[in-house]
Amino acid sequence: MSRNLRIVVVGGVAAGPKAAARARRCDPQAEITILEKGEFVSYAGCGLPYLIEGKIPEVKDLLATPVGVLRDAQFFRAVKDIKLLTGKEATSIDRAQKLVKVRDVATSREESYPYDRLVLATGAVPVRPPLPGIDLKNVFVIRHPGDGMAVLAGLKEGKPQRAVLIGAGAIGLELAEALVARGLEVTVIEAMPQVFPGLLDFEMGAVLQRHLESKGVKVRTGERVASFSGNQEGRLARVHTDKGEYPADLAVLAIGVRPNVELARQAGLEIGQTGAIKVDQYLRTSDQNIYAGGDCAEAYHRVLGRPVFVSSGQLANIQGRIIGTNITGGKVAYRGTVGTGVAKVFDYTVGCTGLTETVAKNEGLEVVTALAPGLDHAHYYPGAAFVGLKMVAERSSGRLLGVQVVGPGDAAKRLDVAATAITYGATVSDLSQLNLGYAPPYSVAVDLLVQAAQVMDNKLTGVAQGVSPLALKELAAQGEDFVLLDVRTPAEVQEVRLKHPQVSVVPLGKLREKAKELPPDRLYIPFCKFSMRGYEAQKILQGQGFTRVQFLDGGVVHWPFELEQGEPK
């Protein structure tokens, strides 16, 4: 009788336990062991900002199943028949003997675990640059439950009043909300020129930054942290950047993570160009008996057509399931990611799927874009809220490349539909006729995503001509003589408007009458709140014989530059 398959999994957070659980379902007789260096396993790391905020009462809530059963060694043994060992640090791999060498964290005793199939799910580690003062008390990173508990302890012990968050990505901005809720003054410092760099284009980031500032968060973009200084007790006192300094009683570095690949590198496994472990479509490493998934491994990007490094709990679970199938005799290929990410930042949902315009252009793609904000459901049904939306498509084929969302409305719904469309290679023409669920509480008659696709279709076919705010800025720099034609009502104009010297106000209802008074040779750029009326104004003027007309993409909602309120001066 042949012995049972021996499976060893290194890493006990997401991909590792998922691979082990799937392997058990596929092979009831396999001997499965999970080795985890820390004390926490199978936890929801994405919930840490909400633990710090207080929305999640205790850290154990991040470690439990949906019905409240703690996912510990006893759970894995009783329910899964999996041996889960915590406090076990894998130090090396003997590929010839098929042994994982381990150090017991508590006793420093050396141990070895034989395997037939090995799964590396070693995750990622936070980027913690060697800056002066980074080891002061109350300077934190956030990755593991222990990190969240350390921040909570820091909030209780020193009763900090001022926090500085370094990095304006998802974790940094989720923590901004958490710490504001705790009563702290919060400053966010971001080295890039905008918040959510890489996930949003500039116009979309500007909408989010305004929301952050409306909640009292100070946002400093284009600044790099240089050092930290403390008081006599060794506790943080100030954060220093290349442009100034900020008093701080607490600081959190949220500037990204890097794949934890030292174990794989020492074992001679191939590391990809992204810095993560190179894997094939079946998530095998360069050793056919060793698989890798989650934050330590590369992931194929369906739009870019090459491997990328992505830190994602969702991706880790998907890859873990595939690995669990394949190490027990299956042959399931990982088809790839489209880079979908979403976060809640105060009252706004912010997210992206596919490519941003910036990334697409850097890849050498010729694109067409649309800023197409709108309401998440019928305006007459209570609670309607706007969703800022940007769509990116390939000009030659019309293939949808990316969608970004920002706003208080139901943006995640639109993002998920866009992610599905990108996954299956849809064009904007395909989306323009998409049959989505409609009822006044859930959508407008033509859903916002479909509206955006129709705008894109109009642009691609030459029916509509739009100009983005950044393109408009370039026109101004070139000395172009244009008129920004505000076609909103006087009440709307008084509420908020573009602070720009070339704005002229002509309400849409009076445009046909006033058109004969406008010089015909100038460039007119009509706009409104969302630019739906701006597009109407474009067609009116073109119908009156004006040849130089382009509506302003995104209208006032997506104007990334200065706005003003009150009576016009």
Give residue 67's pLDDT band: very low, low, confident or very high (50, 70, 90). low
Q: What does DSSP assign to residue 77?
A: I
What are the C-alpha distances in Å from 444 to residues 149, 414, 496, 532? 44, 12, 25, 14
Report yes or no on 92 lying in a domain: yes
Average pLDDT, the chain: 94
User: Is the pLDDT score of 1 beyond 50?
Assistant: no
Let me know if residue 130 belongs to a domain.
no
Asked whether residue 48 is domain-assigned, the answer is: no
- Percentage of the residues of the chain whose pLDDT score is greater than 90: 87
pLDDT digits (tens, 9 = 90+) for 98-121: 999 999 999 999 999 999 999 999
Q: Is residue 163 part of a domain?
A: yes
Q: For residues 323 and 337, is the Cβ–Cβ distance under 8 A?
A: no
pLDDT digits (tens, 9 = 90+) for 131-172: 999 999 999 999 888 899 999 999 988 789 999 999 999 999
59 pLDDT band (50/70/90 cuts)? confident
Among 294, 326, 358, the domain-final residue is: 326
Same domain, 205 and 243: yes
Q: What are the helix (H) ranges across 371-443?
A: 411-423, 428-431
Cβ-contact 424, 445 below 8 angstroms:
no
Q: Based on the fold, state whether residues 262 and 251 are members of the same structural domain.
A: no
pLDDT tens digit sequence for 261-280: 999 999 999 999 999 999 99
For residues 36-58, average pLDDT: 89
Using the 3D structure, point to which of 197, 228, 255 is the last residue of a domain: 255
Residues 46, 296, 352, 528: which is the catalytic one?
46
Domain CATH code at residue 489? 3.40.250.10
Cβ contacts of 383-386, under 8 Å, gap ≥ 24:
384/409, 385/409, 385/410, 386/530, 386/557
Residue 129 lies in a domain: no
pLDDT digits (tens, 9 = 90+) for 218-230: 999 999 999 999 9
CATH of the domain at 20: 3.50.50.60
- Model pLDDT for residues 249-262, shown as the tens digit of each residue: 999 999 999 999 99
What total of structural domains would you count in the chain?
A: 4
Do 263 and 235 lie in one domain? The reply is no
- Are 251 and 262 in a shared domain? no
Check if 352 is active-site.
Answer: no
Please determine, for residue 22, whether its predicted confidence score (pLDDT) is greater than 70.
yes
Q: Which residue has the higher pLDDT, 134 or 66?
A: 134
The mean per-residue pLDDT over the stretch 526-552 comes to 93
pLDDT, mean of residues 46-61:
90
Tokens of 560: 């990334």
Q: Residue 567: its pLDDT value, please?
A: 54
One domain for residues 215 and 169: yes
Range of the domain at 429: 341-461
pTM of the model: 0.93
450, 477: one domain: no
pLDDT digits 0-9 by tens, 487-509: 999 999 999 999 988 999 999 99
Residue 486 shares a structural domain with residue 426: no
Comparison of pLDDT for 39 and 87, the residue scoring more: 87
Quote the CA–CA distance of 497 and 489 in Å, as a whole number: 11
309 and 395, same structural domain? no
Q: Which tens digit of pLDDT belongs to each residue from 180-216?
A: 999 999 999 999 999 999 899 999 999 999 999 999 9
Q: What is the pLDDT of residues 400-409, one digit of tens each?
A: 999 999 999 9
**CA atoms within 13 A of residue 398's CA, in its CB half-sphere:** 17
Query: Is the domain of 184 the same as that of 218?
Result: yes
- pLDDT tens per residue, range 341-372: 999 999 999 999 999 999 999 999 999 999 99
Estimate the crossing angle of helix 202-214 against helix 170-181, to 10 degrees: 10
Q: With 70 as the cut, is the pLDDT of residue 566 above it?
A: no
